[in-house]
């Protein structure tokens, strides 16, 4: 990788953290629990500042910011502290007659020094949630927050630097050159959350050192709407999941596949819910977020050229505002169905038979999430059996990510690896296999000369 000019030495940073790790200080249960409690206390002590920073970066409503970022982190820290002692215990496994007498077990050990690169859409949660797993597993960590959320990035650097020894947890701000410099170093694990294109670059850089990676990416998460639904509830839940954080959620419904019989009633119900949520002019609503940057706003604005706008479509570049928008009459060749939208624009496709919807989904790369609204258990079973996705939610949207002990991750182009709950601990741990035998029995069967011992061995 070509050297880049950055205001720090990546090699010295990693060396300093590795010295801390090699001291053994981070390995004890008490140390890990204390640091997790420090992180929880940071969230409590600075809640107002964190909410303000999220409002500055994304115009996030306080409730959305608290629920999806601060509360979510607290919940995961609480679960981790409660279960950590059990997670750290050796896991016994069966032995065969050949090894008897012996004990066999798997022992979780920390990986070492890990790199966590966070995104901008949930700049607090998606940077610190992997850190919960890294701390719980006994690692040291370098954190690289997104420069596209500068208020949150700056605040996290200050708060974490005040709370933690910088030779244990270090925050490095900056643009892509900082990430490139860090990726050139031999970390023990890299955890990246972001887009697929950058994920490929992270994986390529990690390959230089054979560094394992966790990639939390994205994709076009479909939402199938069957005719057998509670229309009012389905529309409300879809509108909420799509326009939460102005659609800038990796598992937001990216497009709808709606059974023809309920297409028009659903569209009207979605419009009604948009009005109920955000009023006649969502730009004036205190509950509607903004697009993170001018570049992302321009990209989304370009997607509005596809299809027929059934609702919304209003834009204001000076405010990075795009209204909650519903679009019909799009084709698979249109850019809006070719790239992940990651914004408040919802294309709506119509199908007649379920196999058409399933075929549409299977023709696309495997998504991070898939949604199905249907009372019909046969329909549910068919969709679960005939599609692949990182996660599935039936009759609701995005709530699956909040189940504390349910692993979260992608499949194929939508990511690799998983975290949340024990999966976070596992991601940042190596499970070392151990066989322990006594001296008191040492059969001659396995030692030369072998003679005709093979027949006895076959019987064993």
Residue 250 designated active-site: yes
Out of 140, 223, 250, 393, the active site residue is 250
| DSSP string for residues in 366-410 | PPSEEEEE-S-HHHHHHHHHH---SEEEESSSSGGGG-TTS-EE-
Q: 150 to each of 56, 115, 118, 131, 169, how far by Cα in Å?
A: 9, 19, 12, 19, 19
Lookup: tokens for 348: 């709506």
State the catalytic residue, choosing from 140, 216, 223, 340. Answer: 216
ω into 449 cis (within 30 of 0): yes
With b meaning 16 or more CB within 10 Å and e meaning fewer, what string describes 38-58? ebbebbeebeeebbbbbbebb
Q: What is the number of alpha carbons within 13 Å of residue 406 lying toward its C-beta? A: 11
Cis peptide, bond prior to residue 91, ω within 30 of zero = no
Give bridge partners of residue 418 from the DSSP assignment.
409
Contacts 24+ apart (CB under 8 A), 64-69: 64/244, 64/245, 64/287, 64/289, 65/124, 68/122, 68/125, 68/244, 68/245, 69/122, 69/124, 69/125
**Beta carbons of 381 and 222 less than 8 angstroms apart:** no
CA 220 and chain centroid, separation? 15
User: How far is residue 129's CA from residue 377's CA, in Å, rounded to a whole number?
Assistant: 34
**Alpha-helix residue ranges (DSSP H) falling in 149-259:** 150-163, 176-183, 196-207, 231-243
Q: What are the Cα distances from residue 61, in Å, to 7, 44, 58, 274? A: 35, 18, 9, 16
Q: Could you confirm whether 223 is annotated as catalytic? A: no
Per DSSP, what are the bridge partners of residue 114?
A: 141, 189
Active site residues: 216, 250
């Amino acid at each position: 990788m070509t050297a880049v000019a950055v205001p720090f030495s990546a090699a010295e940073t990693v060396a300093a953290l590795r010295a801390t790790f090699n001291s053994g200080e981070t390995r004890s249960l008490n140390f890990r629990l204390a640091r997790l409690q420090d992180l929880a206390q940071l969230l409590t002590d600075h809640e107002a500042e964190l909410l303000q920073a999220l409002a500055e970066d994304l115009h996030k409503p306080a409730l959305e910011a608290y629920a999806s970022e601060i509360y979510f982190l607290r919940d995961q820290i609480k679960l981790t502290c409660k279960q950590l002692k059990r997670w750290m215990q050796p896991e016994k496994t069966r032995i065969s007659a050949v090894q008897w007498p012996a004990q066999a077990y798997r022992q979780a050990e920390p990986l070492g020094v890990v790199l966590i690169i966070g995104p901008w859409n949930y700049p607090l949660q998606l940077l610190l949630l992997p850190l919960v797993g890294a701390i719980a597993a006994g690692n040291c960590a370098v954190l690289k927050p997104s420069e596209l959320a500068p208020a949150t990035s700056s605040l996290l650097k200050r708060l974490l630097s005040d709370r933690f020894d910088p030779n244990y947890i270090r925050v490095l701000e900056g643009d892509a050159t900082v990430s490139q410099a860090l990726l050139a170093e031999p970390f023990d694990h890299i955890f990246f959350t972001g887009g697929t294109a950058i994920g490929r670059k992270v994986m390529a850089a990690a390959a230089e050192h054979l560094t394992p990676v966790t990639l939390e990416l994205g994709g076009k998460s479909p939402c199938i709407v069957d005719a057998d639904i509670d229309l009012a509830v389905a529309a409300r839940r879809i509108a909420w999941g799509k326009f939460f954080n102005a659609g800038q959620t990796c598992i937001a419904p990216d497009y709808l596949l709606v059974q023809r019989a309920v297409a028009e009633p659903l569209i009207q119900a979605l419009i009604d819910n948009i009005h109920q949520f955000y009023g006649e002019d969502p730009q004036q609503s205190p509950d509607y977020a903004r697009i993170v940057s001018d570049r992302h706003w321009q990209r989304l604005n370009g997607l509005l050229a596809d299809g027929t706008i059934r609702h919304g479509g209003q834009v204001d570049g000076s405010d990075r505002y795009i209204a909650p928008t519903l679009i019909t009459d799009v084709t698979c060749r249109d850019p809006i169905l070719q790239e992940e939208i990651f914004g408040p624009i919802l294309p709506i496709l119509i199908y007649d038979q379920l196999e058409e919807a399933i075929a549409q989904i299977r023709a696309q790369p495997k998504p991070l999430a898939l949604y199905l609204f249907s009372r019909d258990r046969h329909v549910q079973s068919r969709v679960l059996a005939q599609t692949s996705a990182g996660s599935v939610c039936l009759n609701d949207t995005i709530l699956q990510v909040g189940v504390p002990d349910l692993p979260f991750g992608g499949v194929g182009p939508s990511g690799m690896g998983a975290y949340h709950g024990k999966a976070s601990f596992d991601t940042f741990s190596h499970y070392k296999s151990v066989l322990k035998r006594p001296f008191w029995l040492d059969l001659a069967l396995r030692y030369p000369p072998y003679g005709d011992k093979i027949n006895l061995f076959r019987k064993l």
